Structure 1
Amino acid sequence: MQRRAAGVYIAVFLVIAAGAYSLIGVAQEPTVSVENPDRTLSNQGQKFNVDGRQYNVTSLSGGSAEVAWTQQSATYSAELTNNSTIEQDNTTFRLLIPNQSKPNQATLREVQNLTNDTQTVTQSNQTYVVVNGSDNGSSANKSLVPVDEYKRQQFGEPETRTLRKGNNFQYQNNSTTVSNITKESVMLQWKAPKTTTTSLSSGGTADLGPNNKTFVAHAQGGKVLLSSDVKGYNEQNAEINHFHERIAGLWGVSILSFLAALLLAMLAYMPFKG
């Protein structure tokens, strides 16, 4: 009687396992589709417009793309800190700002470097250059010359340039304007083209256009489709995730039912003594 009951339970579990497995076999996975894309990117070099801003497809491969747009007159800025050095007309200058709360100007002073074989000494916080006399370099004929005075003797007066707010200033091959001067730094500004690149990958979103309109990208047949219906696209993905969860549950039912039937069979038909 016990074996007969066990046989019934075994059959039930096997039916459940087979039913779950058959459902897995016939289930069709939903797919994401974009029926009416706002933009279709089909080849490199393609141009398209979003709210008046023109984009250029700079790359397109493997279901992803890069698009770029160029702002012809973007504002750039740079900060020159006090006591820093810059290159101007093949000459090195040091930026010197007066120690004032609101300085109205700054000075660029030419940097005059001593040669490597120039001997210097420091006495009482003052640097001197050791100058040899005419008697074959005898120490008795050596003299000490303040380093600034020695540089004037060797190079002449250092070149200086004055910077004021509103002045034009050539910096790193850009024609800049001095926008502000503080006791810590000099601020420069200039206009130049600026290219902004945006990467698009399937399933990812990107903000395009001057109004930052959000698009979702979808790869299809070597193309990248852009859709502004982000909510609808995400709902399709959520449906796919739910499908996978249900399939995983059916696999669990099928495997556990089969293992239960196997365990019952082993216990019910196990030989016993007596």
Structure 2
Amino acid sequence: MQRRAAGVYVAVFLIIAAGAYSLIGAAQEPTIEVDNPQKTLESQGQNVTVDGRQYNVTSLGGGSAEVAWTNESARFSKTLSNNTTVQYQNETRRVVIPNTSDPNRATLREVQNLSNDTQTVTQNNETFVVTNGSQGNKTLVPVDEYKRQQFGEPNTTTLQQGNNFQFANNSTTVANITNQSVVLRWTAPKTNTVSISDGSTVTLGPNNKRFVAHAENGKMLLSTNVKAYNEQKSEIAHFNERIAGLWGVTIISFLAAVLLGMLGYLPNKG
């Protein structure tokens, strides 16, 4: 009787496992379809325009892409702190700001460096260069005087708040001067890049138009119908959840049938 009941349960569980497995085999996973995409990225080097802004496809492949556009009048700024150095006109210049409460001027002064074999000494907080006199005696020359003798007067450029000057090949405005720093501002072209990957959303164009990206056959399709795309993704996720459940039913039912078969046909004691 025990074996007969076990056989019935084994058959039931095997039928359940087979039924679930057959449903897995018959089910077809839904796919994402993007109908009438607003933009299609087809090849590297392609130009794409969104609301008047032109993008260049700099890379495409492997389910991702990158596009670049140039802002011809991007704003830049740089802060020059007092007593720091900066490159200007192929020279190293030091930023010198007057020690006043509200300065409106600053100076970029050429840095004149002593050679490595120049001997210096410091006395009473003043630096001197040790030079050899005509009679072989040593002479101390103040370092600033020595530099003037060797290099001449250092090149200087005066910066006045509100004025423009050429800096890093750009017309630059001296926006603000304090006793701590000088703020420079200018406009220049700037290249901006946007990375796009399959399934991601990106904003393009001056009006920040929102697109969803879908990789297909080596291309990248861009659609503004983000809602429809997300609904299709939700359908796929729900489908996979159901398939995972059917696999669970199949495996558990098969293991239950095996276990019942083993227990039901154990030899009787005695």
TM-score range, shorter chain: over 0.9
Match of 1:65 in 2: 65
Q: Please state how far the C-alpha of 1:18 moved relative to its aligned partner.
A: 0.7
Q: Please state how far the C-alpha of 1:210 moved relative to its aligned partner.
A: 1.1
Partners of 2:147 and 2:41 in 1: CA distance = 65
Unaligned runs of at least 5 residues, structure 2: none
Match of 2:184 in 1: 188
Superimposed CA distance per residue, residues 174-208 of structure 1 (whole angstroms, 9 cap, x where no aligned partner):
33222221222212222221221112111111111
Q: Which moved more, 1:190-199 or 1:258-267?
A: 190-199
Which of 257, 261, 273 matches 2:269? 273
Classify 1:264/1:87 alpha carbon distance in 2 versus 1 (closer, same or farther; 3 Å). closer
Q: Is 1:178 matched up with 2:206?
A: no
Match of 1:159 in 2: 155
Q: Please state how far the C-alpha of 1:36 moved relative to its aligned partner.
A: 2.2
Q: 2:29 is paired with a residue of what secondary structure?
A: coil
Structure 1-normalised TM-score?
Answer: 0.92
Partners of 1:131 and 1:47 in 2: CA distance = 67
Q: Which moved more, 1:147-156 or 1:95-104?
A: 147-156
Match of 1:30 in 2: 30
Q: Please state how far the C-alpha of 1:102 moved relative to its aligned partner.
A: 2.4
Q: Please state how far the C-alpha of 1:93 moved relative to its aligned partner.
A: 1.9
Q: Please state how far the C-alpha of 1:265 moved relative to its aligned partner.
A: 0.8
Which of 228, 231, 235 matches 2:231? 235
Superimposed CA distance per residue, residues 187-241 of structure 1 (whole angstroms, 9 cap, x where no aligned partner):
2222221221112111111111112121110011222111111122111111111
What amino acid does structure 2 have at the position aligned with 1:262? V
Q: Is 1:247 matched up with 2:243?
A: yes
What amino acid does structure 2 have at the position aligned with 1:247? I
Across the aligned residues of Structure 1 and Structure 2, the Cα RMSD in angstroms comes to: 1.7
Partners of 1:29 and 1:91 in 2: CA distance = 67
Unaligned runs of at least 5 residues, structure 1: none
Q: Is 1:224 matched up with 2:217?
A: no
Q: Please state how far the C-alpha of 1:164 moved relative to its aligned partner.
A: 0.5
Q: Which moved more, 1:174-183 or 1:3-12?
A: 174-183
Q: 1:32 is paired with a residue of what secondary structure?
A: coil
Structure 2-normalised TM-score?
Answer: 0.93
Match of 1:169 in 2: 165
Match of 1:126 in 2: 126
